[in-house]
Amino acid sequence: MITILCSGSRGDFQPYIALAMELKKLGKDVRITGMRDFEGFIRSYGIDFYPIQADFESLNVDKKMLKEAQTADNPLKMLLTFNKMKKYGILIADEFYAACEGSELIIYHPGCTMGYFAAEELGIPSVLASPFPMHKTKERPSVIQYGRIKPTPFKNIISYKMLQDMLWLASKDSVKGFWKKQFGSAPKNFGCPFERHTDKKHPAVVSCSNFVFKRPCDWNENIHQSGYWFVEEQTAYTPSEELSDFLNSGEKPVYIGFGSVSNEDQKDALSKLIIDALANGGRRGILCGMGKFNNLPDNIIAVDSIPHSWLFERVSAVCHHGGAGTTAAGFKAGVPGIIIPFANDQHAWAHRAYDLGVGAKPIPIKTLTSDNLAAAFDFALQDKIVANAKILARNIATENGARDCAKMIVESLRG
């Protein structure tokens, strides 16, 4: 049994579902560990699930802290938020360790470093599986500094140390606390494990296209990056009659959705701004995941969550917050992006889309207006940006990161 330790929102789990599905194709038993709320979602893809019984409610997670995490728009705020989050990890550390028992190999999200130390204790291999490039390189800044600093080899290395230290901060106390309670002392060689995957039995794998961020030449040979990990949907999506009629009734609309980062107290102001921006350019739009609205104009429809893999191929552009998964889905669909970063690594994906010539210049949420949003729509829908987006999609289609990384993981078990 291969066990995958994961944390985060629904979107955070999707790359790991893709990886698990490829491991199953190679004949491996595999399960994903996460909070119990995700059980139905994971199992719908035919993947076994080990539920962590705690959830945000039972842990009494501070809602204000969650909001701070979603709006941390600079490294200092991110560091402070990660420091606050660590106390919740202590409460579920024993469940994550129990999930590792009986496994032949542990794959772990960088927010779940229990996987590395549990594997060491149990005498089995571990694989660091990251949803973004996170290993030190002199070639470019990390995703918390890309587009924010003028890169130099020294600054680039420091930016990765910052990223790794923040991720380690969120889980190190939970690991140490559990170990002292269970074994009487901290783990052997206790410390940040992210740069320790340096041999074939302990590789690291990364979900990222080499056409978006090329694999750095100064990574060690056991860090593998060969494309995004895209989920294969198990059933074909059937749209509502209302959505189908809307899509067929005029020019392709712009998709607009901000995932879990937008909240109810922003809804009215944000929706008015979007409606005005669309009207300004005479464009149609689909508002996704922002709830129901009264009296929307005929050029706009509001919908609940819809698979990006289905919808993005049917729109003219995608306007979103810049989450890694949503950005990758937009790249894969071959449509231009208008990215409105709220926090964390979203700024990096926004700047990267612009640098690749497949999206508008980033507009941080704090500076968003109807006028600059309308201008961003116009920029993104220029012929050259549309053409660049299609070329990027064709290149990404030549990769299969989940399959290649799954093969590498299975190979590591053979020694």
- Rounded to whole angstroms, the Cα distance separating 199 from 195 reads 11
Element holding 347 (H helix, E strand): helix 346-355
Note whether 263 and 183 are same-domain residues: no
Identify the DSSP state of 116: H
In a domain, 234, yes or no: no
Note whether 406 and 382 are same-domain residues: no
Output the domain CATH number for residue 323. 3.40.50.2000
Please, what is the Cα angle at 80 between 76 and 86, to 5 degrees? 140
Note whether 131 and 23 are same-domain residues: yes
Q: How many domains does the chain have?
A: 2
Note whether 124 and 157 are same-domain residues: yes
- Rounded to whole angstroms, the Cα distance separating 204 from 224 reads 6
Q: What is the pLDDT along the chain (415 residues), one digit of tens a residue?
A: 999 999 877 778 999 999 999 999 999 999 999 888 889 999 999 999 999 876 555 555 555 555 554 555 555 555 555 555 545 556 688 899 999 999 999 999 999 999 999 999 999 999 999 999 999 999 999 999 999 999 999 999 999 999 999 899 888 888 998 999 889 999 988 999 999 998 888 999 999 999 999 999 999 999 999 999 999 887 788 999 999 999 999 999 999 998 765 566 677 788 899 999 999 999 999 999 887 888 889 999 999 888 899 999 999 999 999 999 999 999 999 999 999 999 889 999 999 999 999 999 999 999 999 999 999 999 999 999 999 999 999 999 999 999 999 999 999 988 6
Note whether 290 and 409 are same-domain residues: no
Domain that holds residue 70: 2-228+399-413
pLDDT at position 233, please? 83
Tell me how far apart the terminal alpha carbons of the chain are, to the nearest angstrom. Answer: 17
In a domain, 236, yes or no: no
- Rounded to whole angstroms, the Cα distance separating 196 from 202 reads 8
In a domain, 60, yes or no: yes
pLDDT at position 265, please? 63
Note whether 203 and 60 are same-domain residues: yes
Q: Where are the beta strands (DSSP E) in 131-229?
A: 204-206, 223-225
pLDDT at position 406, please? 97
- Rounded to whole angstroms, the Cα distance separating 272 from 268 reads 6
- Rounded to whole angstroms, the Cα distance separating 319 from 273 reads 13
* Residue 104 structure tokens: 């032949």
- Rounded to whole angstroms, the Cα distance separating 318 from 335 reads 7
